[in-house]
Amino acid sequence: MHTLSLSTTPSSPFLNPPNRTVQNPSLPLSLNPVRPILTRRTNSPPSIACNVALKTDPPATVSSPSEESDPARIGARVRVKVPLKVYHVQKIGEIDLYNKEGTMKQYVGLWKGKTISANLPFKVEFVEEVEGRGPVKFFAHLKEDEFDYVE
């Protein structure tokens, strides 16, 4: 006797149980697909092949020759020209940076040769004299229009 699998339109397991078969003696063969079982007979661990082509990008160049990417400006003295308060210095409440001088330490608008969208791309180091503590060093990130270069 031959068997035929019956599949219903809904794909719910409640409406289509896996062992439902229809007996039809006129069919000469079985229509139940049988999947071969693949076994692996080696003792080596499985390996994954990953074929990825790595391409290095050429370093991005800044389109305009402005002073923001000029490496000669690193280490320059700058003076803050706008009223700007910072609150991140430990054990000191707020510090007003207006007319304070600092040293440009880093331009963070470039990272690994690529231009990034840093909101405050200039890292400036300030030294503030605090009573009872002596000089305190701290950093602040500034925009180009917030400071002037001191000569």
Q: What is the pLDDT of residue 25?
A: 58
Q: What is the pLDDT of residue 92?
A: 82
**Cβ atoms 140, 124 nearer than 8 A:** yes
Name which of 30-39, 63-72, 78-87, 112-121 the model is least confident about.
Answer: 63-72
At the topology level, CATH places domain 72-150 in: SH3 type barrels. (2.30.30)
Q: What is the pLDDT of residue 98?
A: 94
Is pTM beyond 0.75 here?
A: no
Name which of 3-12, 37-46, 69-78, 100-109 the model is least confident about.
Answer: 3-12
Q: What is the mean pLDDT of residues 75-94?
A: 91
**Cβ atoms 108, 123 nearer than 8 A:** yes
Tokens 């609150």 appear where? 87
Higher pLDDT, 101 or 66: 101
**Whole-number average pLDDT of the chain:** 74
The two structure tokens encoding residue 69: 């990417």
Extents of the domains making up the chain: 1-34, 72-150
